Chains A and B, each alone.
Chain A
Amino acid sequence: MSAVRAIHGPVKIVPSESQVLPETRLVEGRPTLHEITSGIAHPLESRPGKAWWICLALAVAALLNLGGMVAYLVGKGVGIWGLNNSVGWAFDITNFVFWVGIGHAGTLISAILLLFRQQWRTSINRSAEAMTIFAVMCAGMFPAIHMGRPWDAFFIFPYPNQRGPLWINFRSPLVWDVFAISTYLTISLVFWYLGMIPDLATMRDRTKDPVKKFIFRILSLGWNGSHRTWSRYEVVSLILAGLATPLVLSVHSVVSMDFATSVIPGWHTTIFPPYFVAGAIYSGFGMVLMLLILTRQTMPPQRYTTLVHLDKMAKVTLLTGMIVSYAYMTEFFNAWYGGNLYERYHFINRATGPYAWCFYFMVLCNVVTPQILWFKKARTNVALLFIVSILVNIGMWFERFVIIVVSLHRTFLPSACGMFYPTKYDVGILIGSFGLFFTCFLIFIRVLPMIAMWEIKGVVAHSEHERALGSDAAARAVAGD
């Protein structure tokens, strides 16, 4: 298979190193190609277990809550939230940035790691991409519902209209958001779908249910597995990866400009684009970790998500966590060094004001927590990683809350200072967005192959022939099993 060859090289490990380090194994055991296929297809072909049903029930309950609250919100007005004259954005935009951030890991894994030929991405990229799409869906909901008049949300699209020269304001970062997010969603969706086509063809060939077969037939776009198909497929994958790579950096850079281009102390900072991108990858990996650990522990085939994967993701988390911590420090340093009265007040207030607890909680989650990942033992401890991943996500939510609310509640004129207190609708809609996310994800893992079968097959030394072609070290490692 050409696909195998294309990404085959890095499996070879230089012998001298291999004597020190055992070869990393991306798949546990030695599954045959058939075992891989049937293993991954298993959840689609069997009845879901009790755990799945419980999770789905919880998620759907939260989703229904979201539906009800959003309906009330649209009917009554955004006044049901705790917003006020001083704090015009709070949970709404916090949630938006949070979910956009979550959505970052998918593209990073599928595009950038593909370009860097990181083999370990193969077992996680499918679910990470799915996560991206669901997260961006959640994110996209918030700008729409946060509007005072959501029924007029279409005003922000530059569509031809009969209202004379009415056009959108290209100077507004909110317009940039619209383009950035919609582009990102489109590319992610295409990437995800394209990556699934060989597997959809596999499912088409496996399933006996005529309805499913029909659907898979349509979705697999007549995939026949020929060399020519594979060859074109490879080319398209690379092109798309190339296209998607800048998006990883651009989307959150643009989102950060919602704040950076404003005049508000705490928002008006040039550090925001890289800082937000790092934060996004950080939270995205946190979420991928969490989801993988969850599915790994609850769904039968554990062999595709090994400790090797977790270890590598933990390293990325550590790295981005350090970047984020560095950004925090830089902000404080600049507030002091810049000598701007308002900026300085803002950062003193961030650390000592009424929302200081949010700030310290954020520091605890985002700066202190990832330090534990310096230790290999921690990186390979599933339970600990799970806790870390949750803390990272909470911490990143608080980071956005701190940036948005703490900056707004104290402004230039002290007379306009206010406070934000969330209402049950703020909290309910936040929980509801998780309901939407998990409902989508839970359904996804039951109706589509959550691991890219064809890519896994490429990284498994599945035949004696391959092993013979491989290095001695690889052979030794396999023989040693």
Chain B
Amino acid sequence: MKQRCRSEQEEKLVEIGEPPTSTYWKSLEERRNGPHFTAEFPGGLPQLNGAGAGEPTRRGFLGMMDFSLAAVGLSGCRGPVQNAIPLLVGSDDITPGVANYYATTCRGCASSCSLVVKQRDGRPIKIEGNAESTLFGNGTCATGQATVLSLYDDARFRGPVWRGQPAKWDELDQRVLDSLVEARAGHRKVALLSSTINSPSTLRIIAQFSQQHPNFTHVMYDPASYSGIRAANASSFGRAVIPHYAFDKARVIVGLEADFLGTWLSPVEFARQYAAARRPEGSPSLHVQFESGLSVTGSNADVRIPIAPSELGAIAVALLRRVARKAGVTGVSEGKEFFSDAQKLDAVADELWKHRGESLVVSGVNDVSIQTVVNALNWFLGNIGKTVDLTQPSLQRTGDDSAMAELVEAMNRGEIHTLIVYGVNPAYDYSDSQHFLEGLDKVSLSVSLSDRPDETSSRVHAICPDHHFLEAWGDAEPVASVFSLAQPLIAPLFETRAAQETLLRWAGDPEPNYYTYIREFWRKNLYPLQKTFDSFDAFWDRSLQDGVAVIPSGTVAHLPRLQGDWTEAAQTILQGEEQAARNDDRYELHFYESVALRDGRHANNPWLQELPDPISKVTWGNYAAVAPALANRLGLSEGEVVRLKTARGQIELPVFIQPGQHARTISIAVGYGRTLVGKAGRNVGVNVFPLTSMAAGLRTYSIRDVALEKTGKTDLLAGTQSHFSMEGRPIVLETTLKELKQGGETGENKKALPTLWAEQLHGEHSWGMSIDMNACTGCSACVVACQAENNVPVVGKDQVQRQRVMHWIRIDQYYSGPEDNPVSVHQPMMCQHCQNAPCETVCPVLATTTSSEGLNQQVYNRCIGTRYCANNCPYKVRRFNWYNYTDNPDFDFNMASPLGRMVLNPDVVVRSRGVMEKCSLCVQRIQLAKNLALQGKREVAEADIQTACQQACPTQAIVFGDLKDPNSRVSKLRQDPRHYEVLEDLGVRPNVGYLKKVRNPMSNV
């Protein structure tokens, strides 16, 4: 992959933006005499060389004639802007039809993953991971993959808005500046309310802003808060930070309600580390997860123990009590055990103690006491400084709940004169959003920098839309000393302005330019810290090209020591337990971020709305996940709407029966129920943020003492899978670590099943794939990646309910074992590229055939849509275009809107209605690699081709390659003892193989 950095010359292009409309004039002369003809050619008319002016040749003459005709003709037209390549002066770097790749930084959430973005003809069309990044590697998450579609969102603001009316930037700037002056004069407060900002240059700009305005406060707010961890670390270690965890160094991982493979803190990074530490070829780590709802992380754990959110503290204390006892530390009172299964806890504590210094306890719960106990646990286990890094902490979440609460109070007291809201939406996701809105009304000037409508921006005076991150410069420091740069991939689509420039403008810079600023910032602050490069330009170009730079800060931090009063924290938890009353008819609610929508900011992204939840496989909406036992007891059926009555109000939600759900706990995803958002996300699901509360200055994402009532209504859930049992079929094969180490049958000595079919003859290659069932966490990044790469349409809730989802790759979820706590597996399933394909023999018109390279290919032009192939596919991976999904008046976004269509991959045809489609193993990428190899007069190398799903996978569970090449990774994996083919006994001979899931049961649990 070629990565490029932007040269100075190109930056000008970025600034050009929208071409001027014909009503503008540049000079009085132009206004009087009309636009000058040569203005069409700013660089002057090109000179014909070759034939001299004195000797006109026949060719030259005809060429001139052609040119003149074309020039005269073209001067009269102005092509539709959306389809034009927005370059007036051709660039050497941009060849129509050839993609460029630029490194940038994701702002889908504050994890700030490094990305490489594919740009075709001036449009970013595909997000890919940045292999240069030491933190995140090649992988991405589903949300990150989908951010490119948010760029082409019809709902985005076209320009600045003043009190609901389109306005001019100058006018708005003046109003804000006036207001700031007024605030300063009246000694009133100015506040900036933002999401986590880990961009060093932006933080500097904010500092600069605060110097201008003495009464300035900056509050960072995360709807899914991590401030409990920061507060606990402040008291335990004297540092208000989130540690940087190293799951790859841990041999035993204990998760306490932390979905670190799905949504928690930095899932791409953690998934990568986790998979690396759990390769069955080595000695895989042990993972024990305590959680209430089944999460992606829990579904991958070796031991998963369902608990109620209220039991979490008691479990942490019980573990601490055992570990402290082993460490010879007293301090945890030998009180009553609140968690019934003491034996399990003993075993977990034994394992932890056995792997002192290479274990890790993490908790995602936003509670200082529990986090303090977790800190003590990690301290006594010797993990601090090993798997828990406090010296180079994570800066991925820096929100502060109490500061936010204080700001809301200040707003309500009328102390805030000017409020700038940047990247957050508290009117939707704050626990007491009504209180926030009341406060907002008392602010004399409220400004939102949001780039698209949300519940907050609809209530402010001024909207100064920020760029989408793919249009903007930027930098980030997700983990201390690890920097990531962001560069624009496209000229801003609308009249937006970078938030940093907006702040600089209000800080007094009349002509703010964030690019110059960030460059200067790096020159002054980061360049001096490194020793590799002699000149700043070289350093900058390199950093921009790589997208990442690891620049250790000069100061050496000393290792922290446990100093806080952890015994008191344990005591607080135990006292709370004593007081808590348990009643079988009162339930607990547990709120979590869903893998697709997270905190709801991506609600208008149809790719994410239609992404099946990795566990429940439900799309387009949230639900109340109840345990099968509870559903049986109350006679609840799936889709039945229940009313949940809490002290903070009541909600009505459809039920989903979730195996593995804790019996008395009901889990509900936040991020749904947006009301003021674009068409895709409006009123999808129910907003449960109002049920979250503030306790001791921290957001609490669970609530006790909830009553459940039936409503008699039903609201059919749009799930993509309804049957979760394998029925004893050879679909996901498992082995145990012990068996594997003893050596099972290998691929070589495995007897091939007899066949009556002639061997398929292949040409130069035989493309195949291998999917490691052990590495796949089910995170679903591949699903969105495939959708983006292959122009897979979004079909909407109604069509998903009709079981017509179009995804080419799906992740099947199967359970085995007891319903209340089953073992689960995730199986990516796409076209298996059978060599004896059942689909091929039945197609009457030969629209699907095996290529000479072993690909099962679908010929759209030939397909007449009998659907026989789909009926006869044992894997049911074929997808039929029931309608013309690109032309759907009920669903006019993504592929059905001119703006949304800009995300389409020009290398992949958009299928019309009535034809069958399916996974092609990214044949366009294979073709490109072959062409490039041909041009370079070399063989296709393995590294040349990565399928979209493979590339997106943070755990590298998917390997693609040439089965003809005995040295390719995929060929070698075919010989792996774990290799098997799904439904092998059918004799269809798939080219996609799987590696068995390896179970590593904890012997004493």
* Interface status of B131 (Cβ within 8 A of chain A): no
* Interface status of B883 (Cβ within 8 A of chain A): yes
- Asked whether A341 lies within 8 Å of B729 as measured between CB atoms, the reply is yes
- Asked whether A172 lies within 8 Å of B862 as measured between CB atoms, the reply is no
- Asked whether B914 lies within 8 Å of A264 as measured between CB atoms, the reply is no
- Asked whether B723 lies within 8 Å of A78 as measured between CB atoms, the reply is no
CB contacts (< 8 Å) of B882 on chain A: these are 77-79, 83
A83 and B879 alpha carbons, distance in the complex (Å): 12
0/1 interface trace, chain B 852-896, chain A, CB 8 Å (1 if under): 000000000011111110111011101111111000000000000
0/1 interface trace, chain A 148-190, chain B, CB 8 Å (1 if under): 1110110110000000001111011111001000000000000
Number of interface residues of A (CB under 8 A): 50
- Asked whether A263 lies within 8 Å of B838 as measured between CB atoms, the reply is yes
Which chain A residues numbered 384 to 419 have a C-beta less than 8 Å away from chain B? 408, 410-419
Which chain B residues numbered 446 to 486 have a C-beta less than 8 Å away from chain A? none
* Interface status of B15 (Cβ within 8 A of chain A): no
A416 and B803 alpha carbons, distance in the complex (Å): 9
A152 and B913 alpha carbons, distance in the complex (Å): 12
- Asked whether A156 lies within 8 Å of B914 as measured between CB atoms, the reply is no
A217 and B561 alpha carbons, distance in the complex (Å): 113
A408 and B874 alpha carbons, distance in the complex (Å): 10
* Interface status of A334 (Cβ within 8 A of chain B): no
Min CB distance B992 to A, Å, is 13
* Interface status of B722 (Cβ within 8 A of chain A): yes
A86 and B845 alpha carbons, distance in the complex (Å): 22
Contact A172:B842 (CB < 8 A) given known A85-B803, A148-B863: yes
A458 and B982 alpha carbons, distance in the complex (Å): 66
CB contacts (< 8 Å) of A172 on chain B: these are 841-844, 868
Min CB distance B198 to A, Å, is 39
CB contacts (< 8 Å) of A76 on chain B: these are 883
* Interface status of B434 (Cβ within 8 A of chain A): no
CB contacts (< 8 Å) of A84 on chain B: these are 802-804
* Interface status of A345 (Cβ within 8 A of chain B): yes
CB contacts (< 8 Å) of B878 on chain A: these are 85
Min CB distance B823 to A, Å, is 16
CB contacts (< 8 Å) of B813 on chain A: these are 415
Instruction: Name the one of A77, A168, A262 contacting B838, with C-beta atoms under 8 angstroms.
Output: A262
Which chain A residues numbered 49 to 91 have a C-beta less than 8 Å away from chain B? 76-79, 82-86, 88-89
A263 and B805 alpha carbons, distance in the complex (Å): 24
- Asked whether A342 lies within 8 Å of B804 as measured between CB atoms, the reply is no
- Asked whether B876 lies within 8 Å of A86 as measured between CB atoms, the reply is yes
Contact A148:B914 (CB < 8 A) given known A82-B802, A417-B723: yes
* Interface status of B578 (Cβ within 8 A of chain A): no
Residue of A nearest to B882 (CB): A79
* Interface status of A6 (Cβ within 8 A of chain B): no
Residue of B nearest to A165 (CB): B846
Residue of B nearest to A262 (CB): B872
- Asked whether A342 lies within 8 Å of B913 as measured between CB atoms, the reply is no
* Interface status of A295 (Cβ within 8 A of chain B): no
Instruction: Name the one of A156, A342, A418 contacting B845, with C-beta atoms under 8 angstroms.
Output: A156
* Interface status of A261 (Cβ within 8 A of chain B): yes
* Interface status of B563 (Cβ within 8 A of chain A): no
CB contacts (< 8 Å) of B810 on chain A: these are 415
A83 and B871 alpha carbons, distance in the complex (Å): 11
A248 and B875 alpha carbons, distance in the complex (Å): 36
Residue of B nearest to A155 (CB): B845
* Interface status of B725 (Cβ within 8 A of chain A): yes
- Asked whether B812 lies within 8 Å of A148 as measured between CB atoms, the reply is no
CB contacts (< 8 Å) of B723 on chain A: these are 410, 414-415, 417
0/1 interface trace, chain B 813-854, chain A, CB 8 Å (1 if under): 110000000000001010000000010011111100000000
A415 and B812 alpha carbons, distance in the complex (Å): 6
Q: Which among A79, A345, A410, A413 has the greatest number of chain B C-beta atoms within 10 A?
A: A413
* Interface status of A147 (Cβ within 8 A of chain B): yes
- Asked whether A79 lies within 8 Å of B866 as measured between CB atoms, the reply is no
Min CB distance B831 to A, Å, is 13
* Interface status of B983 (Cβ within 8 A of chain A): yes
Contact A263:B986 (CB < 8 A) given known A84-B803, A408-B871, A412-B729: yes
Contact A168:B914 (CB < 8 A) given known A412-B874, A414-B729, A417-B723: no
Contact A79:B804 (CB < 8 A) given known A172-B841, A412-B874: yes
* Interface status of B726 (Cβ within 8 A of chain A): yes
Min CB distance A329 to B, Å, is 25
- Asked whether A415 lies within 8 Å of B829 as measured between CB atoms, the reply is yes
- Asked whether A262 lies within 8 Å of B862 as measured between CB atoms, the reply is no
* Interface status of B727 (Cβ within 8 A of chain A): yes
Min CB distance B809 to A, Å, is 13
- Asked whether B872 lies within 8 Å of A264 as measured between CB atoms, the reply is yes
Residue of A nearest to B914 (CB): A148
- Asked whether A413 lies within 8 Å of B829 as measured between CB atoms, the reply is yes
Min CB distance B733 to A, Å, is 14
- Asked whether A77 lies within 8 Å of B883 as measured between CB atoms, the reply is yes
* Interface status of B43 (Cβ within 8 A of chain A): no
0/1 interface trace, chain B 906-932, chain A, CB 8 Å (1 if under): 000000111110000000000000000
- Asked whether A155 lies within 8 Å of B862 as measured between CB atoms, the reply is yes
Residue of B nearest to A144 (CB): B864
Residue of A nearest to B805 (CB): A85
- Asked whether B864 lies within 8 Å of A173 as measured between CB atoms, the reply is no
- Asked whether A262 lies within 8 Å of B842 as measured between CB atoms, the reply is yes
* Interface status of B731 (Cβ within 8 A of chain A): yes
Residue of A nearest to B804 (CB): A84
* Interface status of A379 (Cβ within 8 A of chain B): no
CB contacts (< 8 Å) of A412 on chain B: these are 729, 731, 874-876, 983, 986
Residue of A nearest to B913 (CB): A77
- Asked whether A149 lies within 8 Å of B844 as measured between CB atoms, the reply is no
* Interface status of A146 (Cβ within 8 A of chain B): yes
CB contacts (< 8 Å) of A416 on chain B: these are 721, 875-876
Contact A167:B879 (CB < 8 A) given known A89-B871, A148-B864, A172-B841: no
CB contacts (< 8 Å) of B912 on chain A: these are 149
- Asked whether A147 lies within 8 Å of B729 as measured between CB atoms, the reply is no
Q: Which among B799, B814, B866, B883 has the greatest number of chain A C-beta atoms within 10 A?
A: B866
A89 and B842 alpha carbons, distance in the complex (Å): 14
Min CB distance A346 to B, Å, is 11
Min CB distance A37 to B, Å, is 48
Min CB distance A362 to B, Å, is 21
Residue of A nearest to B879 (CB): A85
- Asked whether B914 lies within 8 Å of A78 as measured between CB atoms, the reply is yes
- Asked whether B829 lies within 8 Å of A156 as measured between CB atoms, the reply is no
* Interface status of B724 (Cβ within 8 A of chain A): yes
Residue of A nearest to B810 (CB): A415
Q: Which among B725, B805, B868, B876 has the greatest number of chain A C-beta atoms within 10 A?
A: B876
Residue of B nearest to A178 (CB): B844
- Asked whether B845 lies within 8 Å of A168 as measured between CB atoms, the reply is yes
A237 and B912 alpha carbons, distance in the complex (Å): 50
- Asked whether A166 lies within 8 Å of B846 as measured between CB atoms, the reply is yes
Min CB distance A433 to B, Å, is 19
CB contacts (< 8 Å) of B721 on chain A: these are 415-416
* Interface status of B50 (Cβ within 8 A of chain A): no
CB contacts (< 8 Å) of A417 on chain B: these are 722-723
A161 and B552 alpha carbons, distance in the complex (Å): 69
Instruction: Name the one of A83, A85, A89, A261 contacting B876, with C-beta atoms under 8 angstroms.
Output: A85
A85 and B914 alpha carbons, distance in the complex (Å): 13
Which chain A residues numbered 65 to 123 have a C-beta less than 8 Å away from chain B? 76-79, 82-86, 88-89
13 more contacts with CB within 8 A, not counting A89-B868, A418-B722, are: A77-B884, A78-B865, A148-B864, A155-B862, A172-B841, A172-B843, A174-B843, A261-B842, A264-B872, A341-B729, A412-B876, A416-B876, A417-B723
| Listed A/B pairs (14) with beta-carbon separation below 8 Å | A79-B882, A148-B880, A149-B915, A167-B846, A168-B846, A169-B843, A169-B846, A172-B843, A261-B841, A342-B729, A412-B729, A413-B829, A414-B726, A414-B814
Per CB-CB distance, the 7 closest pairs between chain A and chain B, nearest first, are: A148-B865, A148-B914, A79-B882, A416-B876, A88-B867, A415-B812, A84-B803
Identify the A interface with B (CB < 8 A): 76-79, 82-86, 88-89, 143, 146-150, 152-153, 155-156, 166-169, 171-175, 178, 258, 261-264, 341-342, 345, 408, 410-419
